[in-house]
Amino acid sequence: MFLIFGNPVAHSKSPLMHNYFFKKMGINECYGRFCLKNGNKIIEKFKELKIKGANVTVPHKEKAFEYADEIRGIAKEIGAVNTLVREGDKIVGYNTDAPGFLEAIKKFDYKKPLIIGAGGTAKAISLVLPEAHILNRSEKRLKYFKEKNKTVFTWDGIKDFDYDLIINTTSAGLKDNLLPAPENLIRKLFSNAKYAVDVIYGKETLFLKLAKEYNLKTKTGLDMLVYQGILAMELFLGKKFDKKEAEKIYFEILR
């Protein structure tokens, strides 16, 4: 069995898409969801539930990184884990968010991206978009990005609004109708931009509704969800899939 840890997690489409994939591929497995309130217990709960693997969503990606028995691949540099896999007695952490996001925006012609937020997803995306600047409400969470020599701003400190790709990595809009930053600031950014991406999927957030007022090309987190999901499934099952075939199956059920 596999599942997704998060809080909230009821909205997650991961069980729908992975169970559909298992069915179409004739794989005798199942995938569920688990609302985990205390991220410090993530590995303990993983072992207690006797599962083979798990995806990790907000707000537990950094705790998964902290408590996994071993970290592999780009997750080491990101400092956040979105995929946990049982290997013998060890729980190994990976990150498939970064390559998943890059695949999702491959048709966008951008030069100057701005990432809003400073959590695990922002860290992952900043690794594959090294030129991106980071905008966050508080100074405290920008420490990681400063150490990586990234250009960072708080809401009060940003002076340059000339970005062509604006990416929301926060959970604003997931449970509510909020923007990830003050409206006047977002409007200034959108007035110069060409593209807007929200990593939230399954709904049109206020962030994307506002982007459409400025005729920006937009994307929800659905493509990223699919691409990171395929990579996670390969890790779960220890085998490679035909990416085009897998992609077709996932989009078939989600769309």
Vertex 167 angle, CA 162 and 173, to 5°: 125
The phi, psi pair for 211, rounded to 5°, reads -60, -35
Query: Which listed residue (13, 50, 61, 188) is catalytic?
Result: 61
Whole-number Å distance between alpha carbons of 77 and 73: 8
Annotation marks residue 61 as catalytic:
yes
**74-81 long-range Cβ contacts below 8 angstroms, 24+ apart:** 74/98, 74/99, 74/124, 74/127, 77/127, 78/120, 78/123, 78/124, 78/127, 79/120, 79/123, 79/144, 80/119, 80/120, 80/121, 80/123, 80/124, 81/56, 81/120
Whole-number Å distance between alpha carbons of 43 and 53: 11
Using CA atoms of 228, 36, 177, 104 in order, give the dihedral in degrees to the nearest 10: 0
Using CA atoms of 57, 35, 89, 20 in order, give the dihedral in degrees to the nearest 10: -70
Q: How far is CA 162 from its chain centroid?
A: 25
Residues with catalytic function: 61
